[in-house]
């Protein structure tokens, strides 16, 4: 029933702490133009635009897509704005693909972005109402207790997080678009960096970035004629659960487990660790790599940390994770999810340059948001599903 | 030819008047009297504190009957915050703690006091320290912080569900 | 295209101020009513989508608490748009079209009374050159009304007639906020709020929520006696800048109406989301409605405008007329952004 959807163009900006040289419109246009160039298309070829970004308070503009969309060829076209907290980039990609898969549009441009240098993201995340005590300083403050919970139940060695950070930061050196590139990064540098929210250290934390990511998606007939090999969408899935309720497992939530089960079922994958060649996973704080390895059913319960320890998630391991340097290296919040999806697509198109996994033919893109409650994922492949 | 304008500072100020809603109002009024009032979910009977009026798991309005809770509880998990933030007026470093009050089935987020940072641990028994009565308002902030109660640690089983 | 129909609809009363209830407390009975009407539990719904705005709620991730009203357990497939619920319905409809879902629930909610809505909406404008002037939403709409009057597209009298018509229709709507019989002469004697707009030309500030259930053919026939089939569903967005588009006509609505096939048949009922009287007139023209179309039997937005739900409610109200047999073919419209920037058109049929 569903049309096949191919990703025929991918573009992203060089992610940075503050892009003072462009306005919001300039930022998204940069990513969109790169995606169009990659697809060898023009604005005229796009039928609809899907924009994704995180809370509007990050830029201080209400529904900014309204004043921005015509900068990316959206004038007099259908335009949708997705907002599912941190997972928004992923959900945006899924909504865009669904427009093609439903046979409604031939070609859709999707852009996700954040220009958080224009407002104060920490403030926007900590607006408190009189019902709760303001103690949580930023997302890290919210997630640190969960990390502690994972450490307790899995018995993972204390330096697991440092190893993840080291790997991702080394990978970032091979990604020209990554925000944080620390050429002399090593274990000790990370271990001795200031502790922010015990047990999360400064260098185990994502930066705050300005950035945008864009993709052009097309229906089968057009994707087959595209100048470069498309990445085919095999399956996608979204799952949400309440932020808080009695007895909730907030460390490895059921929503991620359900998401993974359904995703693999739709993609015809029985053994994800073997059948998926690499993954781009939303890891804003280093410890989330082992946690999401379990959450995405790649590793057994309480064994996610072993994958990190054994080097399985390194570029030369059997299940490379975050070849781009991941969210730890670049975090324009609204775009981060779409970046994961895009980087996965780049891998199966052989487009990832220096951070390419040789022979990658099937990749997983993953995003999560909120209080670890929204999960959006997709599987893309070099071959049609 | 002067330099092009690169940055434009435009302050945004908007005022919002929040309605706590019926359930949260009851909770806040009780706070003003030094009482910790939770509510039960009509589906599984679990006691939520604090509550905004509905059970997030079942999408049902909480049962209106108040459930009075003790101001003593167990630290389920915690973190140590060393990052300054505009909204938070505490000295660094401080330890946000998630406390399971005796009688409640959900955790309350608060902060640890009268305890060296390196001694906070999961399972620690704590006791609320209130502001002077004259300073009480309709706010959870009537509790200044939670301090160690001196009791032996709670067994892991008593709170492991909440980690 | 799969056949998809609107099968259930519920809404809260539009109130100037919901002092007693927070968003979740408003939503729970609305979603509860939808569940009751359809007999479906959360687990039987394949996809959920909502529409709301952070700036309206005064905090980030406002929609997260909306999910509490749903009882998302076991975990649900769910998404959210920072737009009116009408666009959330569109996303859900697409999910059914691609075969991902057969039954979807959509809701929209907002409590604009918490802030100063006309002022808050100034934040929707270009942040570099327009927002710093803080032009409120009523003044911006007034600019458009002035242009329309000077071009002869409408008149203050015609605008007053629309206000009177809608509010008279609202007498039959228990959920409407502003209703009654108003004399045109008396309305025109009122002072301007922002010339040429008077108070009656503006929709009220309303807190509220609404929810809709849609289903694919087989399920729709099980869930409703006379499903309201969605036979056309399109939306188009114009560039925002007030100087680059013709404000005296709604080109995006014309395009959407054409693509949705509005004129393929007779339109018995049209529910139009016109936050201001002149805008309702512009949309009526853009949709190409005839004299035989009954416009806004519910009273429309001029009778109650719960932001982020009002557009969804237009679709629900149109569907109701299909269900009760008073219409065979209905059109619902939703709008977003300053001066009718973005418009959505939904065509419903009973056969």
Residue C187 sits in the same domain as residue C312? no
Residue A130 has pLDDT above 60, yes or no: no
Q: In terms of residue numbers, what domain contains C152? A: 117-201
DSSP C220-283: HHHH-SS-EEEEEEEEEE----TTSS-TTS-HHHHHHHHHHTGGGS---EEE---SBHHHHHHH
Matching residue, tokens 């439903």:
A102
Output the pLDDT for position C192.
97
* A31 belongs to a structural domain: yes
Nearest CA among A345, A379, A341, A364 for reference residue A88:
A341
C-beta atoms of C131 and B55 within 8 A: no
Residue C60 sits in the same domain as residue C183? no
Output the pLDDT for position A135.
65
CA distance A64 to A291: 34
Task: Tell me the mean pLDDT in the region C289-293.
Answer: 93
* B95 belongs to a structural domain: yes
CA distance C38 to A55: 33
Residue C94 sits in the same domain as residue C210? yes
Q: In terms of residue numbers, what domain contains B152? A: 22-162
Q: What is the CATH number of the domain that holds A108?
A: 3.40.47.10
Output the pLDDT for position A89.
83
Residue C92 sits in the same domain as residue C215? yes
* A72 belongs to a structural domain: yes
Of the pLDDT bands very low, low, confident and very high (cuts 50, 70, 90), residue A315 is: very high
Output the pLDDT for position B1.
63
Number of domains in chain C: 3
Task: Tell me the mean pLDDT in the region A230-238.
Answer: 97
The count of C-alpha atoms lying within 13 angstroms of the C-alpha of C36, restricted to the half-sphere facing its C-beta, is 7
Residue B144 CB partners (closer than 8 Å, separation 6+): B113, B129, B130, B131
Residue pLDDT, tens place only, B56-74: 898 888 898 999 999 999 9
Residue pLDDT, tens place only, C28-45: 999 999 999 999 988 899
- Identify which of C97, C255, C338 has the shortest CB distance to residue A104: C97
C-beta atoms of C237 and A129 within 8 A: no
* B16 belongs to a structural domain: no
Lowest mean pLDDT segment, chosen from A132-146, A186-200, B94-108, C274-288: A132-146
* A101 belongs to a structural domain: yes
Output the pLDDT for position B52.
72
C-beta atoms of C98 and A101 within 8 A: yes
**pTM for the model:** 0.94
The SS3 call for residue C100 is: coil
Residue pLDDT, tens place only, A42-64: 999 999 999 998 888 778 888 88
* A73 belongs to a structural domain: yes
Residue pLDDT, tens place only, B113-140: 999 988 999 899 999 999 999 999 988 8
Residue pLDDT, tens place only, C210-251: 999 999 999 999 999 999 999 999 999 999 999 999 999 999
Of the pLDDT bands very low, low, confident and very high (cuts 50, 70, 90), residue B87 is: low
- Taking all residues of chain C, what is their mean pLDDT, rounded to a whole number? 95
* A175 belongs to a structural domain: no
C-beta atoms of B21 and C25 within 8 A: yes
Residue pair B19/C21 in contact by the 8 Å Cβ criterion: yes
- Window 211-250 of C: residues touching A by CB (8 A cutoff) are 234-241
C-beta atoms of B96 and A141 within 8 A: yes
pLDDT higher at A365 or C290: A365
Of the pLDDT bands very low, low, confident and very high (cuts 50, 70, 90), residue A177 is: very high
Residue C269 sits in the same domain as residue C333? yes
**Nearest chain B alpha carbon to A248:** B162
* B5 belongs to a structural domain: no
Residue pair A233/A378 in contact by the 8 Å Cβ criterion: yes
| Beta strands in B1-158, from DSSP E residues, in sequence order | 36-40, 47-48, 54-55, 60-61, 63-69, 72-78, 80-81, 96-101, 107-111, 125-130, 143-148
* A216 belongs to a structural domain: yes
C-beta atoms of A75 and C98 within 8 A: no
- Cα A223–chain centre separation: 23
CA distance A199 to A16: 26
* A267 belongs to a structural domain: no
How many Cβ pairs closer than 8 A exist between chain A and B? 123
Residue A340 CB partners (closer than 8 Å, separation 6+): A89, A90, A280, A281, A282, A326, A327, A365, A366, A367
Neighbours, chain C (3 or more CB pairs < 8 A): A, B
Number of domains in chain A: 1
Output the pLDDT for position A128.
60
Adjacent-strand bridge partners of C236? C343
CA distance A9 to A218: 9
* A19 belongs to a structural domain: yes
Choose the mutation target among B79, B98, B138, B145 for the interface with A, i.e. most A CBs under 10 Å.
B79
Nearest CA among A234, A233, A236 for reference residue A91:
A236
Residue C238 sits in the same domain as residue C331? yes
How many Cβ pairs closer than 8 A exist between chain A and C? 175
Task: Tell me the mean pLDDT in the region B66-84.
Answer: 90
Of the pLDDT bands very low, low, confident and very high (cuts 50, 70, 90), residue A133 is: low
Residue C102 sits in the same domain as residue C212? yes
Number of domains in chain B: 1
Burial class (CB in 10 A: 0-12, 13-18, 19+), A188: exposed
Lowest mean pLDDT segment, chosen from A83-92, A223-232, A296-305, A327-336: A83-92
C-beta atoms of B21 and C123 within 8 A: no
Of the pLDDT bands very low, low, confident and very high (cuts 50, 70, 90), residue B16 is: confident
First to last CA, chain C: 16
Q: What is the CATH number of the domain that holds C330?
A: 3.40.47.10
* B127 belongs to a structural domain: yes
The SS3 call for residue B156 is: helix
């Amino acid at each position: 029933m569903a049309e096949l959807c191919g990703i025929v163009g991918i573009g992203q900006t060089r992610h940075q702490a503050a892009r003072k040289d462009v306005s919001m419109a300039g930022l998204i246009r940069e990513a969109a133009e790169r995606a169009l160039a990659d697809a060898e298309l023009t604005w005229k070829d796009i039928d609809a635009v899907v924009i994704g970004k995180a809370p509007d308070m990050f830029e201080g503009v209400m529904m900014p897509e309204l004043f921005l969309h015509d900068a990316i060829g959206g004038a007099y076209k259908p335009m949708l704005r997705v907002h599912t907290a941190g997972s928004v980039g992923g959900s945006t990609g899924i909504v865009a693909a669904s427009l093609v898969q439903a046979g409604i549009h031939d070609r859709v441009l999707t852009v996700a972005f954040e220009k958080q240098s224009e407002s104060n993201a920490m403030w926007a995340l900590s607006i408190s109402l009189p019902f709760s005590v303001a103690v949580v300083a930023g997302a890290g403050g919210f997630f640190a207790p969960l990390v502690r919970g994972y450490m307790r139940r899995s018995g993972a060695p204390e330096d697991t997080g440092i190893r993840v950070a080291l790997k991702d930061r080394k990978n970032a050196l091979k990604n020209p678009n990554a925000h944080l590139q620390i050429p002399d990064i090593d274990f000790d540098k990370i271990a001795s960096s200031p502790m922010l929210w015990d047990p999360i250290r400064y260098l185990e934390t994502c930066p705050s970035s300005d950035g945008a990511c864009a993709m052009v998606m097309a229906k089968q007939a057009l994707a087959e004629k595209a100048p470069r090999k498309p990445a085919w969408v095999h399956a996608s899935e979204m799952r949400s659960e309440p932020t808080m309720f009695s007895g909730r497992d907030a460390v490895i939530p059921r929503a991620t487990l359900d998401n993974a089960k359904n995703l693999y079922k739709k993609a015809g994958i029985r053994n994800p660790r073997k059948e998926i060649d690499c993954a781009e996973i939303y890891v804003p704080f280093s410890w989330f790599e082992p946690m999401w390895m379990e959450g995405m059913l790649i590793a057994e319960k309480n064994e996610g940390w072993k994958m990190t320890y054994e080097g399985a998630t390194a570029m030369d391991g059997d299940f490379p994770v975050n070849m781009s340097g991941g969210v730890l290296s670049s975090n324009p919040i609204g775009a981060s999810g779409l970046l994961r999806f895009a980087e996965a697509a780049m891998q199966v198109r052989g487009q990832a340059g220096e951070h390419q996994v040789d022979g990658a033919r099937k990749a997983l893109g993953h995003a999560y948001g909120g209080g670890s409650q929204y999960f959006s994922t997709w599987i893309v492949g070099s071959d049609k599903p | 030819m002067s330099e092009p304008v690169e940055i434009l500072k435009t302050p945004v100020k908007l005022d919002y008047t929040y309605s706590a809603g019926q359930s949260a109002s009851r909770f806040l009024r009780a706070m003003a009297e030094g009482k910790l009032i939770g509510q039960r979910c009509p589906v599984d009977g679990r006691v939520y504190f604090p509550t905004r009026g509905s059970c997030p798991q079942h999408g049902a309005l909480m049962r209106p009957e108040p459930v009075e809770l003790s101001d003593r509880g167990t630290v389920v998990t915690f973190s140590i915050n060393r990052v300054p933030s505009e909204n938070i007026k505490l000295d660094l470093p401080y330890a946000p703690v998630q406390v399971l009050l005796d009688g409640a089935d959900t955790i309350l987020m608060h902060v640890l006091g009268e305890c060296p940072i390196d001694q906070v641990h999961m399972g620690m028994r704590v006791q609320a320290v209130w502001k002077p009565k004259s300073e009480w308002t309709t706010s959870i902030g009537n509790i200044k912080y939670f301090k160690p109660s001196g009791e032996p640690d709670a067994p892991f089983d008593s709170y492991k569900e909440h980690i | 295209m799969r056949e998809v129909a609107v099968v259930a609809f519920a809404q809260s009363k539009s109130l100037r101020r919901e002092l007693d209830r927070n968003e979740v407390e408003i939503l729970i009975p609305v979603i509860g009513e939808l569940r009751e009407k359809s007999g479906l539990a959360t687990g039987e719904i394949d996809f959920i989508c909502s529409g709301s705005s952070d700036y309206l709620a005064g905090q980030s991730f406002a929609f997260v608490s909306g999910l509490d009203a749903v009882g998302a357990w076991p975990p649900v497939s769910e998404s959210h748009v920072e737009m009116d619920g009408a666009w959330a319905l569109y996303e859900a409809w697409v999910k059914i079209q691609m075969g991902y879902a057969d039954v979807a629930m959509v809701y929209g909610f907002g409590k604009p009374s918490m802030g100063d809505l006309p002022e808050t909406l100034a934040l929707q404008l270009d942040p570099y050159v327009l927002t710093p002037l803080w032009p409120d939403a009523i003044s911006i709409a007034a600019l458009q009304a002035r242009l329309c009057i000077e071009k002869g597209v409408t008149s203050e009298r015609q605008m007053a007639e629309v206000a009177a018509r809608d509010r008279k229709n609202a007498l039959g709507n228990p959920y409407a906020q502003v209703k009654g019989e108003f004399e045109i002469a008396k309305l025109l004697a009122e002072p301007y709020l922002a010339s040429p707009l008077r108070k009656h030309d503006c929709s009220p500030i309303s807190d509220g929520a609404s929810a809709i259930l849609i289903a694919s053919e087989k399920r729709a026939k099980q869930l409703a006696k006379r499903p309201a089939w969605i036979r056309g569903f399109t939306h188009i967005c114009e560039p925002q800048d007030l100087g680059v588009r013709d404000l005296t006509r709604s080109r995006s609505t014309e395009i959407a109406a054409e693509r949705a096939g509005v004129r393929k048949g007779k339109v018995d009922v049209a529910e139009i989301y016109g936050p201001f009287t002149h805008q309702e007139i512009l949309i009526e023209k853009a949709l190409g409605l005839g004299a035989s179309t009954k416009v806004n039997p519910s009273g429309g937005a001029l009778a109650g405008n719960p932001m982020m739900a009002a557009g969804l409610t237009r679709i629900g109200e149109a569907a109701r007329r299909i269900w009760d047999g008073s219409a065979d073919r209905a059109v619902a419209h939703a709008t977003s952004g300053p001066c009718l920037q973005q418009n959505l058109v939904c065509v419903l049929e009973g056969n």
